[in-house]
């Protein structure tokens, strides 16, 4: 486990050619760009949590059947400060950094003050976001870093707070057919209020980048949702969209702001201020994209924790959304590096299996319906929505499948009816051991797995001109737990789940989080959208999501 999680990974600054076995489809040309933690020790200091490690970007450039791999650490301000000091000097969510004992009293006092209202890290290690012609490494703070997807060079630092008042923001934005970007962030005690801010980054003006104008400068607040608690906002990792609605889950997995303000003084991490409150309900907020206001009905469900929304769509007056749920917030605890050792199987057993659930909400509630009656009439689901007093609705989901995480879909179907989910498969360990294609219609699945292989999040890339939802390929970066087996890029036929090719590289590749595929980037840098956008444009003949 030390090889996979704890050991610092070396950069591969120059492209190295992979050994390709099988045949990569001739139409597949571009860059698979991924992000995740790669360095967990600096000098004599060590991060506490795997999620805290310094961001290591890596890419697979696919061109004419050949594959080239490279990797490079994100040169964030956090990275630079730590490397120059040869110790961890910038705090991460699970690791609080303290000043050098040799520093004077004034430096120490300043450190305490700066952590009372923390300026979070720019260690952007979670995902990659496309914004116009630009690509950004992202995390869950207000900072993002622009990068060059071909060279992995780190460019300028961007603070969302210059454009919208948010202290935190998700790393899972949504894109529409027009090129607009939607995201959600938390504004903590701003003008006496804590709220969740849905913001929109508009599609770029043609030639704007050449004129030095970024679409980020035109960021606008789309809608705000007041938090139920001023000092205990919900933690969230993603959200859902349909053609006409936005779905935001205010779950009882909460950050205690007062504890965060005193964490540095108390000698604990900010992560210790995040707690699951099983006695509270999960509030389901639905925003009408046409009015930019919440719908009048108040929806709620049982306490749960959701990291990843899968998809959502509208059908016969109902809003359906699928999410991966947990019964508690224990998943984060399993990834402390102290648990990721030779006793990993014992230390990192999930107490709650990730479960794919479907929620169905009635968009128009019959005022004459009896209290306690089921408002869902769809024959395709067993999900229920029970009417309560005072325009409230209690939602009971349909359980679809267990053991899925890191879900992906054909993004042409984002916000639309869909059938297939491509995901990493997990059992009672949080580490994926297989890749799964789940068929929502038949409740059946196809699986790829190989001994000693840990797959990363699978990405779907559609075949050009494809009409069927699963006409395309799956890309996944595979890390091997066998030192004698090289890591590789796996290429699967998305329809049959048979292996088409693999591209092995003799490098020490890290287990990553998220990323995207940039079609044709290897030939015509920066002019093509990532795969989740390109299908959306191809599908623009349907009613494009309103933003």
In contact, 209 and 134? CB cutoff 8 Å: yes
**Beta bridge mates, 459:** 475
CB atoms within 10 A of CB 389: 7
Please give the Cα distance from 455 to 379 (Å, whole number). Answer: 36
Residue 481 backbone dihedrals phi, psi, to 5 degrees: -85, -5
Strand order in the sheet with 355-362: 305-315, 318-326, 355-362, 398-402
Q: Is 408 annotated as ligand-binding?
A: no
* 228 annotated as belonging to a binding site for a ligand: no
Q: Is 308 annotated as a binding residue?
A: yes
- The residues, ordered by sequence, that sit 6+ positions from 414 with a Cβ below 8 Å of its Cβ are 174, 241, 311, 532, 536
111 backbone dihedrals φ, ψ, rounded to 5°: -60, -40
What residues contact residue 20 under an 8 Å CB cut-off, 6+ apart? 65, 66, 67, 501, 502, 503
Cα–Cα nearest to 34, from 149, 174, 168, 151: 149
Residues 6+ apart with CB under 8 A from 68: 15, 16, 17, 18, 60, 61
Task: List, in order, residues 6 or more apart from 276 with CB less than 8 Å away.
Answer: 252, 253, 254, 303, 305, 328, 329, 330
Annotated binding site for Fe cation: 172, 237, 308, 514
Annotated binding site: 172, 237, 308, 514
């Amino acid at each position: 486990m030390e090889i996979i999680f704890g050991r610092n990974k070396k950069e591969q600054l120059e492209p190295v050619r992979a050994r390709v076995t099988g045949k990569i489809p001739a139409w597949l040309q571009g860059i698979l760009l991924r992000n995740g933690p790669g360095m967990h020790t600096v000098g004599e200091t060590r991060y506490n949590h795997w999620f805290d490690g310094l961001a290591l970007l890596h890419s697979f450039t696919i061109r004419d059947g050949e594959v080239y791999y490279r990797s490079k650490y994100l040169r964030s301000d956090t990275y630079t400060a730590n490397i120059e000091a040869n110790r961890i000097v910038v705090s991460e969510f699970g690791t609080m950094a303290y000043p050098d004992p040799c520093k004077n009293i004034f430096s120490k006092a300043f450190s305490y003050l700066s952590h009372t209202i923390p300026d979070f890290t720019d260690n952007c290690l979670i995902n990659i976001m496309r914004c116009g012609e630009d690509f950004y490494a992202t995390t869950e703070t207000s900072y993002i870093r622009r990068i060059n997807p071909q060279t992995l060079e780190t460019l300028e630092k961007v603070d969302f707070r210059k454009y919208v008042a948010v202290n935190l923001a998700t790393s899972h934005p949504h894109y529409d057919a027009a090129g607009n970007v939607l995201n959600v962030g938390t504004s903590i005690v701003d003008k006496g209020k804590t709220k969740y801010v849905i913001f929109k980054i508009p599609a770029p003006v043609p030639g704007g980048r050449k004129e030095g104008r970024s679409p980020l400068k035109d960021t606008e607040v789309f809608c705000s949702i007041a938090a139920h608690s001023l000092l205990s906002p919900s933690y969230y990792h993603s959200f859902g969209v349909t053609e006409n609605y936005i779905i935001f889950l205010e779950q009882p997995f909460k950050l205690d702001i007062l504890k965060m303000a005193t964490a540095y003084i108390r000698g604990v991490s900010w992560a210790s201020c995040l707690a699951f409150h099983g006695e509270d309900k999960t509030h389901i907020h639905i925003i009408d994209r046409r009015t930019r206001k919440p719908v009048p009905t108040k929806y709620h469900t049982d306490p749960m924790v959701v990291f990843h929304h899968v998809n959502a769509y509208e059908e016969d007056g109902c809003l359906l959304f699928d999410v991966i749920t947990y019964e508690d917030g224990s998943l984060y605890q399993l990834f402390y590096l102290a648990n990721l050792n030779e006793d990993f199987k014992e230390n990192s057993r999930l107490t709650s299996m990730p479960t794919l659930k479907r929620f169905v909400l009635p968009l128009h509630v019959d005022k004459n319906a009896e209290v306690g009656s089921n408002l869902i009439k769809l024959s395709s689901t067993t999900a229920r929505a029970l009417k309560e007093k005072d325009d409230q609705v209690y939602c009971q989901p349909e359980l679809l499948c267990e053991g899925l995480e890191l879900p992906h879909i054909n993004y042409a179907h984002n916000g639309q009816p869909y059938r297939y989910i491509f995901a990493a498969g997990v059992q009672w360990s949080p580490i994926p051991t297989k890749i799964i294609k789940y068929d929502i219609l038949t409740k059946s699945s196809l699986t790829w797995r190989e001994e000693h292989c840990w797959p990363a999040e699978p990405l779907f890339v559609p075949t050009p001109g494809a009409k069927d939802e699963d006409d395309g390929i799956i890309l996944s970066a595979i890390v091997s737990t066998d030192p004698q087996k090289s890591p590789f890029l796996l290429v699967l036929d998305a329809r049959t789940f048979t292996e088409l090719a693999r591209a092995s590289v003799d490098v020490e590749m890290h287990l990553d989080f998220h990323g995207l595929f940039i079609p044709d980037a290897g030939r015509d840098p920066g002019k093509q959208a990532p795969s989740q956008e390109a299908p959306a444009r191809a599908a623009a003949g349907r009613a494009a999501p309103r933003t």
